[in-house]
Structure 1
Amino acid sequence: MQKISALQKARYGYIPKLPPVIQEDLSKIQAQLGEPTEAVADREELKKLFEKTYGKPIATFSRGSNPDASKKRKVGVILSGGPAPGGHNVICGLYDALKKANRESVLIGFKNGPAGILENEYIELNDKIINDYRNTGGFDIIGSGRTKIETPKQFEQAFKTAQEQQLDAVVIIGGDDSNTNAALLAEFFAKKGTNIQVIGIPKTIDGDLKNQYIEASFGFDTATKVYSELIGNIERDAISSHKYWHFIRLMGRSASHIALECALQTQPNICIISEEVRAKNMTLAQIVDQITDSVVKRAEKGYNYGVILVPEGLIEFIPEVGNLIEELNTLLAKEAAEFEKLEDTKAQIDWVSSKLTGRNKDVFVSLPAGIQAQLLMDRDPHGNVQVSRIETEKLLIEMVATKLKKLKAEGKYNGKFSAINHFFGYEARCAFPSNFDADYCYALGFTAFVLIANNLTGYLASVRNLSRPASDWEAGGIPLTMMMNMEKRHGEMKPVIRKALVELDGAPFKTFASQRDEWAVETCYQFPGAIQYYGPDDVCNQPTKTLKLEQETE
């Protein structure tokens, strides 16, 4: 029997806060609809793909009358993709709102992600199950998965399950790819002439599902606080032992939001921002030079130690390597059968080397064999290289060490360089949610129900004004197609929600950039410590520095 920790028992009693408008009688909340919207790009193509759901208006909530809110409903919920702190509270908020509107309404949880709706595997959620998961981390209440609903057969299977279950709505809790699935499912249901609604919830610790109306994806707050505690611990160890350079790779395949937030919280010596690398067309050698310069200057001061943060997706943002990866993805998608016949890694590397063209071939051949092999590992479900498996920090350590050895031989460096590599990823995905994420997720669950109660489909739940206390939050929804563009997947153009990258002209990056030269040479470390759940607001109820900086400048 699972034992419950004292913290978990205490967290059961935490009462999440809600935006004022959805604290009201749910039958008195109306969705106010604005003007039609457009996608962020590729509008004509997307209009053709989403004939029924493209261009819907933004929804905001206000007091009014909605007698439909109290009708009996049956809703299915899906956890999709990697876990993020707060997912359980989304389900709790959805369940509480559903039951508040009508105690006879039913919430079922499809098991192990989108596969659950394809295979019609589910559990009916009740008070006991829900109460066992309030304010806790993880996705284990129903399990998650990365199955994509993309083939005609799969869409028909999902539709069949929804009909057999007599569902009024499906809520999909996931990131940009999962919510792209939600948009496609909403369109498919609409084309079938059914009234089954689909609502998405913005989840990803990477922080790359955001825009003007989705100010943060849930889990980012907790994850960056967990990582920052670990980084601060390492920084404290570094100034205690005075002998190691710590290269820390952080989650964030497609954007550097996690690395940037952790840098703002901990002030490491170096933090590489992938988006800046791409914008400046930096080479791998230039990145190595930047790190080496910090090592040399700190050694001159007697500091033979330091901390460096590296986003896991960095290697794709280095233009020369990114071009290589793009050709690799296409090559391995189109010639997968031939590639799979090769029996060992050397044969694979030789085969790929013979197929690559021009500069891409030169870059691939120049990489260490270990990195070459990692670039050829199994692709993710979207046909892309799995960058979490590429040990970029080890590549940088090797190249910096080689550069320092050369400088030492030239009499330009007389320090000591001992490096340790780390990867912080799974450590934060299932953490107990911070108060912010506990509140935000519960509010997103409530918001999803209000969107359903107002007969909306193809929407993403939105809670805004997040840098302020929850009493100032505003709830509503935005159409999923509004966030979409066309991108190449498996060698073909597909509709996807565009990832939000770090904005180099944004306040968070500018704040970081204004201080990093000093951090590179001096020891300016900060030690955030563990997440606090109890205490004054400035200790336990603060949002991320990213969110505060973004909204202070608006």
Structure 2
Amino acid sequence: MTKKSVLQQARAAYQPKLPSVLWGPVKAVKGEPTQSVGDQEEIKKLFPNTYGLPELEFVKDTDASKKKTGKPAKFNVGVILSGGQAPGGHNVICGLFDGLKALNKENRLYGFLMGPGGLVDHKYKELTASFINDYRNTGGFDMIGSGRTKLETPEQFEKGLEIIKELDIRAIVIIGGDDSNTNAAVLAEYYKAKNVPVQVLGCPKTIDGDLKNEWIETSFGFDTATKVYSELIGNIERDANSAKKYWHFMKLMGRSASHIALECALKTQPNYCIVSEEVEAKNMTLNDIVADIAKVVAQRAADGNNFGSVLVPEGLIEFIPAMKKLIAQLNDMLAEHPEIKQMEPDAQHKFVVDHLTKENVEAFNSLPVDVQRQLSLDRDPHGNVQVSLIETEKLLSDMVEKKLEQMKEKGEYVGKFSALHHFFGYEGRCADPSNFDADYCYALGYNAAQLVNCGATGYMSSIRNLAKPSIQWIAGGIPITMMFNMEQRNGKQKPVIRKALVDLNGRPFQVFAQHRAKWARETCYVYPGPVQYFGPDEVCNQTSKTLYYEQEGK
């Protein structure tokens, strides 16, 4: 590892806090059998061996000291970091390592390098105490690297099984988002169907915050990333309030949901924040959004304030109903005609227009040429439009500027409009985890070791009651299949974990909606400052606003 900064040196001494239930021997209490959140019959047919498993909750094993058992059995575990980075991933591995060693000091942990591809290609590293210790409470995934290889074919499963047998591995723990944990469930089902004694478990990772439900209250990394983004937004808002001459359009991570944008809005109180789920619910067009922003700009200009801040979730385009229909048809078209991606721009445009419905042609032709081109290009490994490459923030500001010119001609706007653009993405993915994420991630990993020990497979590590002090957190596991539904991916129906969208009836959005009119007209900026690791509890250990409002009063 490279030379440690002064902060890293101090941070290395931090000891993450565990739920009290994990402070000694535990036993798993089984709940009722579960079912998937949708498409039950289809999911059950696809996962006959891992469907309907019960929820598991760990409780203290008060009889453990009375049991006359020998030394606990030794076992080896493999761990994989999958997908995009998120703050706290290293602490999941550290917690898993410490949990395994607490069960039996002879247990060994192997890290597969550069994601799921490391399992298939037999690239791995044994993770020892001296190696692990350099990465405690650090950001990034550089301990073993990450990748986006999808585990989905029998050939991959069999190649992985070769190294699993060679290293005498009992369980694989996949640390990833919804697609990565979907792969974990598929792998668990495959090995179970073949009666191979290999457990497969998942841990919930994504800064986007869209992997959550009653049992996964938040995905790790969301807390840290939104604090980092909010610091940057606050800095820019202060600059705007100082110079008083720019409108800042800030695009934020969040392809499939607007949790990041909403959380940052609650933290920083911008003049305008788009919530994609509301756009879809209200059947808004791109022009509707532009007109709404222009109205806010004009109102502030009337008060002498020719400056402001606008937050834009990166996945906005996919939530505009007309665009959503267009993208769905383009996805199917690209799946059926992959040669489109290699065509020259003019030929590509003609082919696309000739094959779209009349309604979708109108939507397609309403977009700037560069956005048309982007929508027609290659998808990511999961079949999604690479929306982070679409400069939505510039598209919106350009359209707002044109709208304001029209309003000025009608005497509806008197002011000056000058826009600056920002995209906050990678800045938040590898930050040193906040105290919350450091604790939460360590607990997820330690808890995963207990899931291995009790023989669970096809489960996701679950730590709940997160708005309370860590000592009161609830530990256990939930079957991954219970989060599944069927969705269209690359032109085919596939089982995937249902993404959690912003609940427009939920308290976080309702608090935002209650205040946004005031924030739009007035300058109510809040400047959160950087993530704090040392100091008063209310400064260092606060949860996200989203988690606070969701669990307020519980």
Normalised by the length of structure 2, the TM-score is 0.98
1:202–1:461 Cα contact (<8 Å) kept: yes
Q: Which residue of 2 aligns with 1:22?
A: 22
- Per-residue CA deviations over 1:260-305 (Å, capped at 9, x if unaligned) read 0000000000000000111111111110111001000000000000
1:225–1:154 CA distance, 2 compared to 1 (3 A): same
Aligned residues: 549
Question: CA contact under 8 A between 1:17 and 1:439: conserved in structure 2?
Answer: yes
Residues 7-406 of structure 1 aligned to structure 2 (within 5 Å): 7-24=7-24, 28-64=25-61, 70-337=72-339, 339-342=340-343, 344-406=344-406
Q: Distance between the aligned counterparts of 1:70 and 1:523, measured in 2?
A: 62
Structure 1 residues 68 and 326: alpha-carbon distance in aligned structure 2, compared to 1, 3 A threshold: farther
Listed as ranges, the matches of 1:394-433 within 5 Å are 394-433=394-433
Distance in 2 (alpha carbons) for counterparts of 1:141 and 1:221:
21
Aligned with 1:201: secondary structure?
Answer: strand
Q: 1 CA distance for matches of 2:474 and 2:202?
A: 17
Superposed CA deviations along residues 308-354 of structure 1, whole A, max 9, x for unmatched, are 000000110000011101111110110113x1442x22322222122
In structure 2, the gaps of 5 or more residues are none
Q: Give the match for residue 488 of structure 1.
A: 488
Q: Is the 8 A contact 1:69 1:101 kept in 2?
A: no
Instruction: Check conservation: 1:81, 1:178, Cα contact below 8 A.
Output: yes
Q: Distance in 1 between matches of 2:103 and 2:306?
A: 62
How far does residue 164 in structure 1 lie from its aligned partner after superposition?
A: 2.3
CA distance in 1, matches of 2:299, 2:189: 58
Q: 1:423 to 1:68 in 2, by over 3 A?
A: farther
2-structure distance, mates of 1:68, 1:361: 71
Which deviates the most, 544-553 or 255-264?
544-553
Q: Give the deviation of 1:377 after TM superposition.
A: 2.4
- Does structure 1 conserve the Cα–Cα contact (< 8 Å) formed by 2:112 and 2:125? yes
CA contact (8 A) 1:69 1:453 kept: no
Show CA shifts across 1:204-245 (max 9, x none).
000000000110100000000000000000000000000000
- What is the DSSP-based 3-state SS (H/G/I as helix, E as strand, rest coil) of the residue aligned with 2:218? coil
Which amino acid is the alignment partner of residue 167 of structure 1? Answer: I
CA change 1:296–1:200 in 2 (3 A) is same
Q: Deviations over 1:381-424 (max 9, x none)?
A: 12221111111111111110110011111222110000011100
- Note if contact 2:341-2:376 (Cα within 8 Å) is conserved in structure 1: no
SS at match of 2:365: helix
Amino acid at match of 2:271: N
Letter in 1 for 2:535: G
Residue 366 (structure 1) shift:
1.3
2: distance between equivalents of 1:5 and 1:350?
A: 55
For residues 70 and 515 of structure 1, the distance between their equivalents in structure 2, rounded to whole angstroms, comes to 56
Quote the offset at 1:68 in angstroms: 9.2
Q: Which amino acid aligns with 1:86?
A: G
Please list the CA deviations of residues 177-211 of structure 1 after superposition, one character each: whole Å capped at 9, or x if unmatched: 00000000100110110121111000000000000
CA distance in structure 1 between the partners assigned to 2:346 and 2:15 by the alignment? 57
Distance 2:384 2:432 in 1: 31
Taking structure 1 as the reference length, the TM-score comes to 0.98
Say if 1:68 and 1:454, in contact at 8 Å, map to a contact too: no
Q: Distance in 2 between matches of 1:68 and 1:356?
A: 69
Describe the SS at the equivalent of 1:505. coil
Task: Return the alpha-carbon distance in structure 1 between the equivalents of residues 341 and 279 of structure 2.
Answer: 33
What does the per-residue CA deviation read over 1:427-448, in whole Å, with 9 as the maximum and x for residues that have no partner? 0100000000000000000000
- Inter-partner Cα distance in structure 1 for 2:517 and 2:70: 58
Conserved 8 A contact 2:263-2:544? yes
Displacement of 1:133 in angstroms is 0.1
CA distance in 1, matches of 2:342, 2:469: 58
The Cα shift of 1:371 comes to 1.0
For residues 50-88 of structure 1, give each alpha carbon's deviation from its aligned partner in whole angstroms, at most 9, with x where no partner exists: 010001000001122576993211000000000000000
Which deviates more from structure 2 when the two are superposed, residues 377-386 or residues 93-102? 377-386
Letter in 1 for 2:422: H
Distance 2:3 2:148 in 1: 29
Residues 69 and 454 of structure 1 are in contact (CA less than 8 Å); yes or no, is this contact kept in structure 2? no
3-state DSSP of counterpart to 2:169? coil
For 1:498 and 1:2, the matched residues in 2 are separated by 39
Residue type matched to 2:382 in 1?
Answer: H
Deviation at 1:122, TM superposition (A): 0.1
Query: How does 1:467-478 map onto structure 2 within 5 Å?
Result: 467-478=467-478
Contact 1:507 1:553 in 2 (8 A): no
Name the amino acid aligned to 1:41.
G
State the secondary structure of the residue aligned to 1:436: helix
Q: Decide whether the 8 Å contact of 2:284 with 2:320 is kept in 1.
A: yes
Q: 8 Å contact 2:341–2:377 — kept in the other structure?
A: no
Identical-pair percentage: 61
CA distance in 1, matches of 2:256, 2:493: 18
Where 2:58 maps in the other structure, the secondary structure is strand
Give 1:512 deviation, angstroms.
Answer: 0.2
- Higher mean C-alpha displacement, 163-172 vs 287-296: 163-172
Q: Is the 8 A contact 1:81 1:146 kept in 2?
A: yes
